[in-house]
Structure 1
Amino acid sequence: MDRGDIVLALALLVGIALTGQVAGLVESAGFEGVGSLVWPIGYGSVVLAAWFVWIRPMDLGSRDPDDTDIWGPDDEGTDTDR
């Protein structure tokens, strides 16, 4: 088990299980309005954490025009060119 698996497990635990438990406890204490706020705050924080940890570090921008195109045609000839 590497660090990424542990982080994913903790994010799921906090985002799903803990949010549901806190919302249930708050609503059972008689604070239905506050309990309904716990859900979007809990799930929203998991979405923000996932963005910050996994999505933000990805290089999703356009590439530099001076870079070589690794998906373009090869410079080597094909069988029909021989």
Structure 2
Amino acid sequence: MVSLTREQLAHLQADHLFVTFDKWHTQAPGAERDILADPVWSALPAVRNQHVYEVDFLTWMNNGMIANTKKLEQVVQALG
């Protein structure tokens, strides 16, 4: 799990992004998605090219054979 500052986010040059939102630890309902309205987010290459994939928080924040298998399945489905 990584929380990025706006400055760090601006330097992210990934072709594809897999993101998840922690709705259980935010101050207000929906606050975890505030980043999606930020111009820095909108300027990212993966966002501009519509290569952003929202994935399940509980699956991606857990480890183990079942969680890891689900992660791989989601990646293959998104990129396949």
| TM-score between the two structures when normalised by the length of structure 2 | 0.27
Higher strand share: 2
Higher helix share: 1
Q: Which structure has the larger Rg?
A: 1
| TM-score between the two structures when normalised by the length of structure 1 | 0.27
